[in-house]
Every structure is written in structure tokens, then in C-alpha cells.
Amino acid sequence: MSKINVLDMAGKVVGEMELCDCVFGIEPNTAVMHADVKNYLANQRHGTQSTLTRAEVSGGGRKPRRQKGSGFARQGSTRAPHWVHGGVALGPKPRSYNYTINKKTKKLAIRSALSAKVAAGNMVVVDNIQLDEIKTRSMVQFLKAVGAEGKALVVTPEVNKNVVLSARNIAGVKTTFSGVICVYDILKADKLVVGKAAVEKIQEVYAK
């Protein structure tokens, strides 16, 4: 097992923690991470785009000109796709983009993303991420102290209201808890700031 320093919220080293190699020390599988991110983004789509077909466009009930003798091509409706203000041929309609990938693939993707962060030295373990009050300045000072300025993902063991509300106005900073971490958020962040208890929960789930 590899070891990582554990910091307090002031950025001082207060100990060490062993990381499970099967979660934080594997060879990252880029293909699996790509598949997971692609799945995540597809499932975020609302699929509400819609266009009107010629049957749905208002008007067009009367034949625009007689069938023969005008010198122009025969036309049955002014709402055909080739007319201005006509319907759209083969346009998008509301649909679901959701699909699933198997659990083993998702777990491997999470392990790969976490291992990539550790290998790059971009994961910070904090003894206890806790704020006494909702204050953005305190959150900014904490992130600066642990070297996580810029894009950062803060992971707590469970939902922490003070941490969430203190970080929500900081550009590039996102908070989550150990039960709902996703590959997209991990890869998007420059620094991964994880509470010690959250690391233990992640290892408990993903080491199986």
C-alpha cells in the first residue's frame, strides 16, 4: 500500500494514511474513463429539442395553385419542407439519450480516475473538512492553505451543509460526498480534496 500525507485545514501535515493500491494505485484505463464520461454526459441531456413537421405547421390547407397550366411545378401545400415557413423534414423530436453501462465498468472507471489523480500528485487528503459557519472566505482560505486554488473537487464523507454553501459561489469549485462521486467531476478538477473519512468510505466500496 502507498502512503499519502494527511493535512489539517491550515495545510499542516498531521499524519499519514495508507491508500489501497486496488483503488488508488492501478494503471488508469483511459478507454473505460472515456466510456463513463460519455455515458454521464449523455444522461445529462434533457432531449427536449423539437421541430414541427409539415402536418404540425399552421396553415397550408389550400392548394397554392392549380395543378396544370401555370408554368410552375405542381404543389399541394405551402407547408411542405421546401417552402418558406414550411415544416421540417426529418428534424429532431423529443427523445431520451439515457443508457447504462455495467457496474464493473463504472467501478473500474472510478478507480482509474482516482489512481490518475494520485499518480499526478493532485489528490489532497484532509483530516477533517469542517466549517463552523457558512462563510465563503473561510472556504477560500482553506483551499489556498491545502494548495487547491483553481478548479477543485471537495469530497466529504456525507453531505455537509456548511461546506456546500460556503463553496457554491467559488468559481471552479464543486462539492460532493463519497457516496456519489463520478469520473466526470474527478477528471474535470485540477485538485481532488478528500476528507480522511471519505477516503476510508471510498476504499470500503471500491476495493471489493
Contacts for 48 with CB less than 8 Å, ≥ 6 apart: 94
Q: What is the pLDDT of residues 81-139, one digit of tens each?
A: 999 999 999 999 999 999 999 999 999 999 999 999 999 999 999 999 999 999 999 99
Q: Which of 183, 27, 39, 49 is nearest to 98 (CA)?
A: 39
Provide the CATH topology of domain 2-46+97-206: Ribosomal Protein L4; Chain: A; (3.40.1370)
Structure confidence at residue 2 (pLDDT): 84
Structure confidence at residue 167 (pLDDT): 95
Structure confidence at residue 171 (pLDDT): 94
Structure confidence at residue 207 (pLDDT): 86
Structure confidence at residue 92 (pLDDT): 96
Give the integer Cα–Cα distance in Å for 153 and 156. 10
Residues of the chain with pLDDT under 70: none
Structure confidence at residue 1 (pLDDT): 73
Give the integer Cα–Cα distance in Å for 98 and 43. 5
Contacts for 87 with CB less than 8 Å, ≥ 6 apart: 51, 52, 53, 54, 55, 56, 57, 79, 80, 81
Contacts for 5 with CB less than 8 Å, ≥ 6 apart: 13, 15, 16, 17, 125
User: Cell triple for residue 160?
Assistant: 455537509
Give the integer Cα–Cα distance in Å for 152 and 168. 12
The domain segmentation of the chain, as residue ranges, is 2-46+97-206, 51-91
Q: Which of 97, 98, 123, 140 is nearest to 202 (CA)?
A: 123
Structure confidence at residue 188 (pLDDT): 96
Q: Are 172 and 100 a contacting pair, CB within 8 Å?
A: no
Structure confidence at residue 208 (pLDDT): 75
pTM here is: 0.84
Q: Are 106 and 201 a contacting pair, CB within 8 Å?
A: no
